[in-house]
Amino acid sequence: MMDARDASDASGLLNRDLVTGLAAIALGTLTYFTSPGWDERAWFFPNTIATGLIVVGALLLGSAAMRRRREAVLGTRMEILDAGWFAGSLLVYLYLVEAIGYLYATWVFVFVESLVLGKRTRWRTVPIVFVLAGLGAGFITYLFGEAFNVPLPEGALL
Amino acid sequence: MIDGLLVALEPANLLLMVAGVAGGVIIGCLPGLTATMGTALLVPFTFTMEPASGLVMLGALYVGAMFGDAVPAILVNIPGTPSSMATAFDGHPLAQQGRGQHALVAACFSSAVGALVGGFALLVLSPPLASAALAFGPPEFFWLGAFALTIVGTVVGDSFLRGICGGLLGLLLSTIGIAASGGANRFTFGHYELSAGISLPVALIGLFAVPQLIKLVQERRQKTQIAPYISRPGVLRASLPEIARPIPLLRASAIGTVTGILPGSGPSLANLVSYNEAVRWSRDRRSFGKGNIQGVVASETAGNAAAPTSMVPLLTLGIPGSNVAAVLLGALLFHGLRPGAELFEDAPEVVYGFIWAMIIGGFIVFGLGRLMTPLLVRVIQTPISVLVPAIAALTVVGSFSVRNSIFDVYLMLILGLLGYGAVRLGIPVATIALGLILGPIVESGLNTSLGMADNSGWLDVFVLRPICLVLIAMTALSILWTVYARRNERRDALVSKAEAED
């Protein structure tokens, strides 16, 4: 639920049951199209679930038709931006992990996230944050990679 | 039983327990981090350990988190987890009055008492219930899985249908990979990495950690006010006559123990019910909500008694009674252990070691909790800008370490975003996780039952077996009860709205 102030900032109001119902029916139908049919024992269970999804999806559509309550399913504009930023930065982080290895990718990720998520960043503190991010990344890498002997992703650098 | 105690008392395991409790206390006290998320993050790191040691650590972490969540509830008025919601009602007013240390000592003491009572109840109740599960065959396991999904769908979240939808989505995700029967490649779309299916720890980390991290990022602008904390010596001794009253402790422990056993309720409900009863039985009702230490005792004792007993349905029947139990079910299955009578017969040292860890964890919480309190006051002030990247870095380590696969790390992110979408739609991620965990059990039960039905007929196999009938009736009852309760809730809301308008 959101308050009145948020409502003015909400980007599009949707009915949760409607969206979930449509998604469930789409997923169920897609499963039917992917499966070779009911005859094969291996596909009996996925097809049963697909049927369940379509039935529940239809019931959700019925519920949406009866109660037309609309909510900010996606959240406020700021929430969407925050979620988009974080998901995007995680994706870039994973790409970097693959490309340059866990230690350096984590260093970059922790440094950037600390700056972006920090309350106020002064230019003077940037080098300190950079060094602390490196120490943090080094600590996690050492703790898991060396002390606990947990395998870590390696890249071109480490 | 004794073997389990000896396993738990091994020096290495005691050390793991202390580490687990300490980690749990820190996770629990960080607002926004949940015991479920902490357990999910820790699961992959237990794979290099013996199953008994891994589970001992996970059990201790859970007990620690159940106390840790009281710290932000008392000092910041933000419950660390839903199981300390009622702790904040009186804990925070106490902290505002400069009695924060009294409230924290009361929380620590009652958490330990609750964990001990709940732990012993788990020890006594589990073996006979597990023996009853010996009568279960494939059709019974199929219906048990269906019942577990229904009950979680009905209790968690605000919509039964959306809860069921989450469970079905989880079941569908569990079918990815090579089918156990028939060997067909299902939904792999040419990615050989998916042939072995979705790794449970990877899914659990994605589903429970990523949505929580996004939520933390979104809530970072909210301002929090921490109540002053002054540490004085001798507070425990001075508080004992007030907090160690046998009747309130027994009442709260009994409420927590019983509530915890009911699948789907667990500590989140126990603390509220117990607080309500403490108010009802008190001669000084008006002081509740204004800083009555009995409010803290009632909430913490019940919440911590419910935590171990929420493992009863998990260990005996394989039905997770709470979100943490769902993650622990994933951990058990990944270690090759299947809950039920087999677990008690084949790996008694593991299951009893786990139970004893929760009991001993209560003692550790009492000792460590008080020592750590000054540190925790600082820990809860950890900025989001430090917490979020650090946990994100841990999610990568956890998901990569399971199969040394970068594909799994991307999969963790995809499942995390799916979990976030589910949260926005009001679908509890616990239902998706549960579907994913129970999928193979339900499918195997269904396929074997279908084979049996070829000879005996569908009705005889799926319906006309006593336990199947009971499970079908329980599933139907839980659905009908939910529909009835939700209808009443809506009617009450409409009546309240009409009265307010008048």
Task: Identify the three-state secondary structure at position B185.
Answer: strand
Instruction: Enumerate the β-bridge partners of residue A10.
Output: A76
Quick one: pLDDT at residue B176? 93
Of A46, A78, A148, nearest to B186 by CB-CB distance is: A46
Instruction: List CB contacts (< 8 A) between A144 and chain B.
Output: 45, 397, 401
Per-residue pLDDT of chain B (502 residues; tens, 9 = 90+): 777 788 888 888 899 999 999 988 888 877 667 777 788 888 877 877 888 888 888 889 888 888 888 888 888 777 766 678 888 888 888 888 888 888 889 999 999 999 999 999 988 888 887 777 777 788 888 888 888 777 666 655 677 888 889 999 999 999 999 887 777 888 888 888 888 889 888 888 898 889 988 988 988 777 766 777 777 777 778 888 888 888 989 999 999 888 887 765 667 778 888 888 888 888 888 888 888 899 999 999 998 998 888 888 888 877 776 778 888 888 888 788 888 777 888 888 888 888 998 899 888 988 888 788 878 877 777 788 888 898 899 889 888 887 888 999 999 999 999 999 999 998 888 889 888 888 888 888 888 888 888 777 778 888 888 888 988 888 888 778 777 776 776 777 677 667 666 6
Pick from A110, A117, A133: which is nearest to B217 by CB?
A: A117
- Conformation bin of residue B81: beta by default, left when phi > 0, alpha when psi is -120 to 50: beta
* Spatial separation of the C-alpha atoms in residues A56 and A49, rounded to whole Å: 10
Closest-CA residue in chain B for A136? B390
Out of B45, B161, B401, the one facing A63 most closely (by C-beta) is B161
Residues of B in contact with A110 (CB under 8 A): 389-390, 393
Q: What is the pLDDT of residue A1?
A: 39
| Closest by Cα among B121, B114, B119 to B87 | B114
Q: Which residues of A touch B425 (CB under 8 A)?
A: 16, 19-20, 23, 73
CA separation for the pair B224, B220 (Å, rounded): 10
- CB–CB of A113 and B409 under 8 A? no
B427, B165 Cβ separation under 8 angstroms? yes
Subunit contact A16:B159, Cβ cutoff 8 A: yes
Q: Mean pLDDT over residues A118-128, rounded?
A: 81
Residue pair B83/B307 in contact (Cβ under 8 Å)? The answer is yes
- Between positions 127 and 146 of A, the ones with CB within 8 A of B are 133, 136-137, 140, 144
Q: Do B393 and A106 touch (CB under 8 A)?
A: yes
Residue in chain B lying closest to A101 (CA): B406
Contact B390 A140 (CB under 8 A): yes
Q: What is the pTM of this model?
A: 0.79
The fraction of chain A above a pLDDT of 70, given in percent, is 90
Residue A44 with chain B: CB contacts under 8 Å: 446-447, 450
State the Cα–Cα distance between residues A53 and B169, nearest whole angstrom. Answer: 8
Cβ of A85 and B217 within 8 Å? yes
Which of B214, B390, B427 lies nearest to residue A86, judging by beta carbons?
Answer: B214
> Which residues of chain B does A143 touch, with a Cβ-Cβ cutoff of 8 Å?
none
To the nearest whole Å, the CA of A134 is away from the closest chain B CA by: 12
Distance from CA of A17 to the nearest CA of B (A): 7
Distance from CA of B349 to the nearest CA of A (A): 24
- Interface test mutation site (partner A, options B175, B188, B195, max chain A beta carbons within 10 A): B175
Task: Identify the residue among B53, B161, B169, B479 best suited for mutation to test binding to A, counting A beta carbons within 10 A and taking the highest.
Answer: B161
H helix and E strand count, chain B: 23, 2
Which chain A positions have a beta carbon within 8 Å of B385's beta carbon?
Answer: 113-119
Give the residue from A44, A49, A112 with the most B CB atoms within 10 Å of its CB, the best one to mutate.
A49
- Number of cross-chain residue pairs from A and B with Cβ atoms under 8 Å apart: 171
What is the identity of the amino acid at B334?
A: F
Quote the tokens at residue B272: 């509220």
B99-B101-B104 Cα angle (round to 5): 115
* Residue A64 CA to its chain's centroid (Å): 26
Token pair 């789409």 is found at A26
User: Any chain B CB within 8 A of the CB of A13?
Assistant: no
Q: Answer for the pair B279, B288: CB distance below 8 angstroms, yes or no.
A: yes
pLDDT of residue B370: 79
* A31/B214 touch (CB, cutoff 8 Å), yes or no: no
Say if the Cβ atoms of B187 and A34 lie within 8 Å. Answer: yes
> Predicted ipTM?
0.89
Is A18 in the B-facing interface, judged by CB distances under 8 Å?
no
Measured between CB atoms, which of B218, B386, B397 is closest to A83? B218
Alpha-carbon Rg of chain A, whole angstroms?
23
A87 touches chain B (CB under 8 A): yes
User: From the list B175, B385, B424, which residue is nearest A74 (CB)?
Assistant: B424
Calculate how close chain B gets to A155, using CA atoms only, in Å.
11
Q: Is A48 on the interface with B (CB under 8 A)?
A: yes
- Out of A91, A97, A113, whose CB is closest to B389? A113
Closest CA to B357 of B43, B63, B1, B38: B63
The predicted pLDDT at position B283 comes to 83
Our CA-based measurement puts residue B213 at a distance from the nearest CA of chain A, in whole angstroms, of: 9
CA angle B41, B45, B49 (to 5 degrees): 145
- CB distance A69 to A1 below 8 Å: no
pLDDT of residue A8: 41
> In terms of CA atoms, which chain A residue is nearest residue B217?
A82
Cβ within 8 Å of residue B151, ≥6 positions away: B263, B264, B319, B475, B478
Q: pLDDT digits over A39-66, tens only?
A: 778 888 999 999 999 999 999 999 888 8
Instruction: Look at A122 and B185; give whichever has higher pLDDT.
Output: B185
